Amino acid sequence: MFLENTVNHKEQFGWIEVICGSMFSGKTEELIRRLKRAQFAKQQVEIFKPMVDKRYHEEMVVSHDANEIRSTPVPAAANIRILADTCDVIGIDEAQFFDDEIVTVCNDLANKGVRVIVAGLDMDFKGNPFGPMPSLMATAEYVTKVHAVCTRTGNLANYSFRKTHNDDLVLLGETGEYEPLSRAAYYKAMLKERVREIDVDVEELPQTKKDANA
């Protein structure tokens, strides 16, 4: 369980918290919870998200359960450093979509005494580490991995399976495009996808080659 620290005015250093997991695991919900607690404590809070994320609102960070908090969309990680100069607490949503400079930005802010809370997908739809998230998790003082519930087995899910046939790494979506799966369900789903791709490749072969293979 995450134990929230407090600002230590005698030691002018902050820290980094990372909230990671699959789609529909409650990452943004947990980010908003921590940020609203800081706001209630009258701390100076700013929230940032990548400008590409416009699924629910242009400016608001919105969780899948419609919980929300106002944010500042930015095109690159460098903008956060400029805009976060006077803050006690910084929140960053969808961190996987930022450039690698986000790691340096978060560490620089923490070294200046800022509490930095980052939320993002730790793996992409192929099951690979996603963007700068591994480096953020490695340098953070606190890492919280949250889980969804697998839609096929009911077990804990930590994979984001893409249901649409699109190989773009960045594809913002909801339940129509993704579903959370457990390791076993994800493995079976990906195996089925590979078989489907092989069948498609065979169908696209010239007729003479298909007859020869038969």
Q: What is the pLDDT of residues 182-208, one digit of tens each?
A: 999 999 999 998 888 786 655 665 665
pLDDT of residue 172: 56
CA distance 74 to 95: 11
The answer to whether 83 and 57 are in contact (CB under 8 A) is no
Domains and CATH numbers, the chain: 15-205 (3.40.50.300)
pLDDT above 90 as % of the chain: 63
CA distance 159 to 201: 27
pLDDT of residue 196: 82
Q: What is the pTM of this model?
A: 0.81
Residue 149 pairs in a beta bridge with 156
Banded model confidence at residue 210, pLDDT cuts 50, 70, 90? very low
Model confidence pLDDT, tens digit, residues 13-37:
899 999 999 999 999 999 999 999 9
Selected catalytic residue, list 94, 101, 174, 193 = 94
Model confidence pLDDT, tens digit, residues 96-122:
999 999 999 999 999 999 999 999 999
Judge whether 94 counts as a catalytic residue: yes
